[in-house]
Amino acid sequence: MASVDTGESGGQQRGHKKKKWMQRKRLGFRIDMTPYVDVIMLLLTFFIMTSTLNQPQVMQINLPKGEKEDVVKVDMGNVVFIRVSEKGNIAISKGKPDGTEEQPYKVDFKKLKEYIEALGHANKDMIMILKFDRKGKYNYMVDLLDEINRATIEKRYSFSPMNDEDKRVLEVIGG
């Protein structure tokens, strides 16, 4: 593995005498690294084989089949529309019992949970209709669902496709 070179063979030339203080022996070390490389490779393969990699987190969403019998009539006074734009801006508006909706207002993501809880405590039968822009990031949807799950309300929500009217609503709030 390791050897010591004492330098005896090449220390002096013939016919020349050097003074004692100049006749030092030089020691050189030579370390054979081959076994260490083998051990490192074995340790590396051991840790790679025994480590567990991050499992992808899957969010399970049950989607309706869309049959005519599955249509549920809902009082529009209990509906809250949550729209998320391509840029991540959030607009919330409440529905009115006559089928229209109130003026939407922009909500900062940090205060979204508070707004949802306030609306949920004010109306125990609240249903949220979530609408996301198709060009928006997937992360916006996941973050919004996380905030809904953190809220201390009964969680009833549905996904709905965003149409041109919804995009106009988002433009009103600066979306």
CATH of residue 85's domain is 3.30.420
pLDDT at 133 over 60: yes
> What pLDDT is recorded for position 83?
92
90 is a domain residue? yes
> How many Å apart are CA 65 and CA 71, to the nearest integer?
10
42 is a domain residue? no
89 is a domain residue? yes
157 is a domain residue? yes
Q: DSSP secondary structure string, 38-106?
A: HHHHHHHHHHHHHPPPPPPP----PPP---GGG-----GGGEEEEEE-TT--EEEEEB-TTS-BPPPEE
146 is a domain residue? yes
> Using one digit for the tens of pLDDT, what is the confidence trace for 38-87?
999 999 999 888 887 777 777 777 766 766 676 777 788 889 999 999 88
Closest of 166, 133, 131, 128 to residue 148, by C-alpha: 128
Pairing of strands 105-107, 90-94: antiparallel
18 is a domain residue? no
123 is a domain residue? yes
115 is a domain residue? yes
Number of structural domains (the chain) is 1
> What pLDDT is recorded for position 23?
65
> What pLDDT is recorded for position 40?
93
> Using one digit for the tens of pLDDT, what is the confidence trace for 73-126?
778 888 999 999 988 889 999 988 888 888 888 999 889 899 899 989 998 889
Domain span at residue 99? 75-172
